[in-house]
Amino acid sequence: MIESNQKIYGTTILGIRHKGKVAIGGDGQVSFENTIIKQNARKLRRLYNDTILAGFAGASADAFALFDRFESKIEEFHGNLNRAAVELAKEWRMDKYLRRLEALIAVLDKEHALVISGNGDVIEPDDNIVAIGSGGPYALAAARALVEFSDLDARGIVQKSLEIASSICVFTNDKIIIEEL
């Protein structure tokens, strides 16, 4: 039985802007302590008329609440990803209810790749690669190497990087879903 003070966790989300293309991918695993409870979870969304890709890591209910808020911010700011991300981060940090949410969101469009956190962070990595979740560091390392040493496109880098992460991180599986712009 899952108690309210126990956490369901484990995922890997990787997004990249590379050679004029945008791709984000995620594994399908949801774990509870040392048990896999779902293998084919969908942790990605297309937003604002399919111009923005988003993925989440963390508590599922929290992530869905944040996705809904983020989607309303995107609509409010007419697809301006940076502005919507900053406004969500400010609200997330200041709101008493939202502050308790345990999730991260990775968002990408043709111009930006961002990670949004509940600490009020909106981070845009220099290399246009965003990675979150328990397998994020593994996928990030693989993606950086593949950008430098392969001819793969954005989708190929996401696919291969998530496969590598799934072979290392016990909270990441190889049931990979990828979205592209």
Determine whether 11 is an active site residue.
Answer: yes
SS3 5: coil
Whole-number Å distance between alpha carbons of 173 and 15: 17
Chain centroid, CA 73 distance in Å: 17
Tokens of 157: 């880098």
Whole-number Å distance between alpha carbons of 105 and 130: 10
Whole-number Å distance between alpha carbons of 7 and 32: 7
Which of 11, 12, 35, 51 is labelled catalytic? 11
Chain centroid, CA 54 distance in Å: 6
**Pairs from 125-128 (Cβ < 8 Å, separation ≥ 24):** 128/16, 128/17, 128/18
Active site residues: 11
